[in-house]
Amino acid sequence: MKLESMYQEIILDHYRRPHRKGLTDPYDAEVHHVNPTCGDEVTLRVRVVGGVVTDVSYDGSGCSISQASTSVMTDLVVGRPVVDALATAEEFLVLMQGQGKVEPDEDVLEDAIAFAGVARYPARVKCALLGWMAWKDATAQAVAAHDSNEDDRESA
């Protein structure tokens, strides 16, 4: 059945038991992203220490795809240098925009390869990307905040 290719067991597991759901302190940046067509939303916090993503937490509501994707994303970025995590995000974006024609690299994407089937459903790609885009946005803000703090210190 075609549906099974979208709703992989991994996705349903993350949907039922999401990782890092529930906002935590401390954090460096917080963003709120919505998908205006369906009403999915996520509030996401990022903590970056020494160029490493040390924590991500989030809260929100949405479909199984958006919720599971956000949960999987946190597993893939927390504990990793920002540059490496951004590279993974880019890889995930390429997969999701590939209309089902991109072969996912399990070494890079790990559990996120489960979303390969979602890429064949254009209306759901935005669901799968919601959490990732929020994370990218929050991380960019966190890094920019750190940079400007350092500038302040240097100029002081």
Partner 1 sequence: MTAASLTALDVERIRKDFPILERQVNGRPLVYLDSAASAQRPQVVLDAMTAYYEKHHANVHRGIYTLAEEATAMYEGARDAVAELLNAPSRDEVVFTKNVTEAFNLVARSIGDAPKGSPLHVGAGDEVLITEMEHHSNIVPWQMLCERTGATLRWLGITDEGRLDLSNLDELLTERTRIVSFTLQSNLLGTVNPTSQIVRRAREVGAIVLVDAAQAVPHSVVDVQELGVDLLGFTGHKACGPTGIGVLWGRRELLEQMPPFLGGGEMIETVTMERSTYAGIPHRFEAGTPMIAEAVGLHAAVDYLREVGLDRIKAHEKELAAYALEALSDVPGLRVVGPRTAVGRGGAISFTMAEVHPHDVGQVLDELAIAVRVGQHCAAPVCRRLGVPATTRASFYLYTTTAEVDALVEGLHHVRRFFEGSVRR
In angstroms, the CA 95 to CA 113 distance is 8
Q: Per rule CB under 8 A, is residue 124 in the interface with partner 1?
A: yes
Q: Per rule CB under 8 A, is residue 117 in the interface with partner 1?
A: no
Q: Which is nearer to partner 1, 42 or 142 (CB)?
A: 42
In angstroms, the CA 81 to CA 104 distance is 22
Q: Per rule CB under 8 A, is residue 61 in the interface with partner 1?
A: yes
**DSSP 3-state helix, strand, coil percentages of the chain (rounded to 5)?**
60, 20, 25
Q: Per rule CB under 8 A, is residue 136 in the interface with partner 1?
A: no
CB of 88 to partner 1, least distance (A): 25
Tell me which amino acid residue 71 is.
S
In angstroms, the CA 73 to CA 78 distance is 9
Please pick, from the candidates 22, 25, 26, 37, the single residue that binds partner 1 as defined by CB under 8 A.
Answer: 37
Q: Which is nearer to partner 1, 78 or 119 (CB)?
A: 119
